[in-house]
């Protein structure tokens, strides 16, 4: 983004918020809500993104070895690199990581706010070195289905 922002104003540059105001539009802003503040819903003991397919859910439930955690994970996953399908020349690992980390925080906050009685684990899956950019994914599942919730107070203590 630094190079993009630096090209503005005859090379004097522009800040990110101003750039978004110059290049974006309200239709995109509304569309981005589906990614950055999605609607989550309860369905038969699951917490899922609104608009899910019951047929897909049933298919994942029937898979050998499926668990409520694996079903929630696959139903809720989002490949960061597929947010836009037309912007491949601008896609880079640093942008995908930045978006993924922000989405993880957003999903954690929204799920905790919307479902305080059903703690969720939000995961940003990052591929191992040499992996593909498509492999950066975010997803979540309810802690009761398995997995460990991060101990944020312990993490903050370690950072000090």
Provide the pairing of β-strand 46-49 with 137-142.
unpaired
Judged by DSSP in three states, 101 sits in helix
Distance between CA 18 and CA 59 in Å, rounded? 45
pLDDT tens track, the chain, 160 positions? 788 888 888 888 888 888 888 888 899 889 999 999 999 999 999 999 999 999 999 999 999 999 999 999 999 999 999 888 776 677 888 889 999 999 999 999 999 999 999 999 999 999 988 888 999 999 999 999 986 544 433 333 333 3
What is the DSSP-derived secondary structure letter of residue 128?
P
């Amino acid at each position: 983004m630094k190079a993009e922002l630096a090209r503005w104003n005859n090379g004097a540059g522009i800040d990110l918020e101003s750039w978004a105001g110059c290049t974006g539009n309200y239709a995109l802003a509304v569309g981005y809500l589906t990614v950055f503040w999605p609607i989550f819903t309860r369905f038969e003991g699951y917490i899922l993104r609104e608009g899910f397919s019951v047929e897909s859910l049933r298919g994942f439930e029937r898979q050998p070895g499926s668990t409520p955690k694996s079903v929630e994970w696959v139903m809720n996953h989002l490949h960061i690199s597929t947010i836009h399908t037309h912007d491949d020349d601008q896609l880079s690992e640093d942008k995908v990581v930045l978006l993924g980390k922000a989405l993880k925080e957003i999903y954690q906050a929204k799920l905790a706010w919307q479902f305080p009685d059903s703690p969720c684990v939000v995961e940003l899956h990052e591929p191992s070195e040499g992996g593909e950019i498509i492999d950066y994914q975010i997803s979540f599942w309810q802690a009761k289905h398995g997995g460990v919730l991060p101990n944020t107070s312990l993490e903050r203590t370690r950072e000090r």
